[in-house]
Amino acid sequence: MSTWFRRVRKNILTSTQEKKEAPDGIWHKCPECKTTHTKKELEDHFYVCPKCNYHNRINSAEYFDIIFDEGAYEVHFENIVPKDKLGFVDMKPYDKRLVEAQASTGLKDAMTVGVGKVNGQGLVIACMNFNFIGGSMGSVVGEKIARGIDYAIQHKLPFMIISKSGGARMMESAFSLMQMAKTSAKLTQLAKAGLPYISFMTDPTTGGVTASYAMLGDINIAEPKALIGFAGPRVIKETIKKDLPAGFQRSEFLLDHGFLDFIVERQNLKQKLSGVISWFMNNPVQEPVSAAAE
């Protein structure tokens, strides 16, 4: 007997439903353990899953609220906005992509600079926003880091970058790559002023960001289980044709191999930072001695 109708794929409906993220509303489903919590519960818990400790990705506004005293801070350099200098078109024109990203996030670009106090001590933070074109590093990101450093030097304050980025912004091509050299040079000026640079890596910190400012901290710290690396694990695996060790490119692996000073859970972030700042302000960073000067 021939069958006219055959079910090619089973459970079509179920698999489609599973793929859907929980809709924006009062509930949040943990991407790791699939437990559901209310948004309020999650917010009270620093956006960390109360059941499995998964650190959900958050942006500058949330980090500033967590770190700065009474959630009070000033946002600087918001007049710096991105431009489509190359008339770049991929899936869509870059200038259109920028307008859409600005409308959906309410942000000007992937970097926000906030100045405030941490247990009474001043701090300048440049924090990346992953929701703005994957936290990609364009000219505005680099320029805001540069201005943030100038501000820190002028006011004798420590400087921190919170990295969360897919890497370079390909729509800005060489203008994006130039930010690696520019930010590295500015960090040297900060060190010459005896002021510390705290690099805080969160999930994910990859590409040109890892290859420049993320790994240049006087102290390099990270959130638990954050992906940190240059090329992604899949690319490396395909290149070297070998299986990678368990936990490769995660914070814990990097700590074991000497790339990080410590890992900090978000609920302890403010206390830990406060300790780091007071230590550095009592033990100023030494001016780097270049090989040529020796």
Give me the half-sphere count of Cα atoms (radius 13 Å) on the Cβ side of residue 230: 6
Which structure tokens are listed for 145?
């880091």
Which single residue is written with the structure tokens 């959630």?
71
The one segment of 47-55, 74-82, 89-97, 109-117 that binds Zn ion by CB under 5 A = 47-55
According to the binding rule CB under 5 A, does residue 49 interact with Zn ion?
yes
For position 151 contacting Zn ion by CB under 5 A, the verdict is no
52 binds Zn ion (CB under 5 A): yes
Can you tell me which of 45, 54, 194, 230 binds Zn ion, judged by CB under 5 A? 54
CB of 34 to Zn ion, least distance (A): 7
Closer residue to Zn ion in complex, CB, 54/151 = 54
Q: Of the two residues 48 and 141, which places its CB atom closer to Zn ion in the complex? A: 48
57 sits near Zn ion (criterion: CB under 5 A): no
Check binding of 12 to Zn ion (CB under 5 A).
no
CB of 41 to Zn ion, least distance (A): 12
> Of 49 and 111, which has the nearer Cβ to Zn ion?
49
Scan for tokens 């060489």, then name that residue: 174
Q: Is 88 in the site for Zn ion (CB under 5 A)?
A: no
Rg of the chain over Cα atoms, rounded to whole angstroms, equals 21
125 binds Zn ion (CB under 5 A): no
Our CB check for Zn ion shows the closer of 52 and 86 to be 52
Q: Which is nearer to Zn ion, 51 or 85 (CB)?
A: 51
Total residues contacting Zn ion by CB under 5 A comes to 7
Q: Reduced to 3 states, what is the DSSP secondary structure of residue 83? A: coil
Least Å distance between CB 167 and Zn ion? Answer: 27
* 32 lies in the site for Zn ion, by CB under 5 A: yes
Residue 33 touches Zn ion, criterion: CB under 5 A: yes
The residue range among 25-33, 124-132, 171-179, 192-200 that interacts with Zn ion, by the rule CB under 5 A, is 25-33
Peptide bond preceding 245 in cis form (omega within 30 of 0): no
CB of 66 to Zn ion, least distance (A): 19
With respect to Zn ion, which residue has the nearer C-beta, 36 or 104?
36
Contact, 134 vs 289, CB < 8 A?
no
Distance CA 34, CA 60 (A): 25
Asked whether 133 and 88 are in contact (CB, 8 A), the reply is: no
The residues that touch Zn ion, with contacts defined as CB under 5 A, are: 30, 32-33, 49, 51-52, 54
